[in-house]
């Protein structure tokens, strides 16, 4: 681990209250798929890990939660150092071992089924994937239905993993097993719990 300034700095301004605010915003968007949290506390991780993704890591990750990084984030050694110093979370190479996955380049993401799905007895032992997307509103319009949504909600994230609609339908069909997604962007943060049904609009 290289202990330069970028590794040591960049935590929340107020670690306790910012972690609470981050978690609460995540709770809101996880409980109401399609909604966006716009005032997300600021973290300053080394690029290309985004501020919002960094905030999620600071709020939820610690020594109990192995982290998987996609190749774009793994290549930047400062990120592994930052996560290790700030959260104490081990970085793992195998997607299946991770509790959290941070992804800077969603278009190149391995298939969702490679990540921890939990078991039928313990479906909570599944991965949460944090995808850094460019936008939540200017991509292809997705129609969301399911718990947390009164009738239907819309979300238009971009970029998304390959064959996302089909992959997500498989993920939904595995319920109660499956992964959960957090989508972070400069526009805000949204989430797709495994219960959400996604279809293309129109």
Which residues of this chain interact with other proteins, rule CB under 8 A? 15-17, 19-21, 23-24, 26-27, 30-32, 59-62, 64-65, 99, 119-124, 126, 128, 147-150, 175-176, 180, 193-195
Backbone angles phi, psi at 128, to 5 degrees: -110, 125
Nearest-approach distance from CB 90 to other proteins, in angstroms: 15
Q: Between 42 and 72, name the residue whose CB sits nearer to other proteins.
A: 42
Burial class (CB in 10 A: 0-12, 13-18, 19+), 171: buried
Nearest-approach distance from CB 26 to other proteins, in angstroms: 6
- CA–CA dist 110, 94 (Å, integer): 11
Q: Output the CA angle 111-186-56, nearest 5 degrees.
A: 60
Q: Between 39 and 202, name the residue whose CB sits nearer to other proteins.
A: 39
Q: Between 91 and 149, name the residue whose CB sits nearer to other proteins.
A: 149
* Residues β-bridged to residue 158: 135
Q: Between 38 and 150, name the residue whose CB sits nearer to other proteins.
A: 150
Nearest-approach distance from CB 59 to other proteins, in angstroms: 7
Q: Between 2 and 146, name the residue whose CB sits nearer to other proteins.
A: 146
- CA–CA dist 195, 174 (Å, integer): 10
Nearest-approach distance from CB 138 to other proteins, in angstroms: 26
Is-contact 65 97, C-beta < 8 A? no
Is-contact 67 89, C-beta < 8 A? yes
Nearest-approach distance from CB 50 to other proteins, in angstroms: 19
């Amino acid at each position: 681990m290289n202990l330069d300034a970028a590794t040591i700095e960049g935590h929340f301004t107020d670690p306790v209250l910012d972690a609470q605010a981050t978690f609460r915003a995540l709770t809101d968007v996880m409980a109401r798929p399609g909604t966006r949290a716009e005032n997300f506390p600021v973290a300053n991780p080394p690029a290309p890990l985004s501020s919002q993704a960094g905030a999620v890591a600071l709020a939820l990750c610690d020594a109990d939660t192995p982290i998987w990084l996609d190749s774009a984030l793994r290549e930047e050694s400062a990120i592994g150092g930052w996560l290790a110093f700030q959260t104490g979370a081990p970085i793992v190479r195998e997607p299946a071992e991770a509790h959290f996955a941070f992804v800077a380049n969603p278009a190149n993401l391995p298939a969702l089924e490679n990540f921890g799905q939990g078991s039928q007895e313990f479906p909570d032992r599944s991965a949460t994937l944090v995808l850094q997307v460019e936008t939540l509103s200017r991509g292809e319009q997705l129609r969301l239905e399911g718990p947390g949504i009164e009738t239907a909600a819309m979300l238009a994230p971009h970029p998304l993993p390959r064959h996302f609609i089909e992959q997500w339908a498989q993920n939904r069909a595995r319920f109660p097993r499956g992964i959960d997604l957090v989508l972070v962007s400069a526009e805000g943060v949204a989430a797709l719990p495994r219960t959400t049904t996604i279809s293309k609009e129109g």
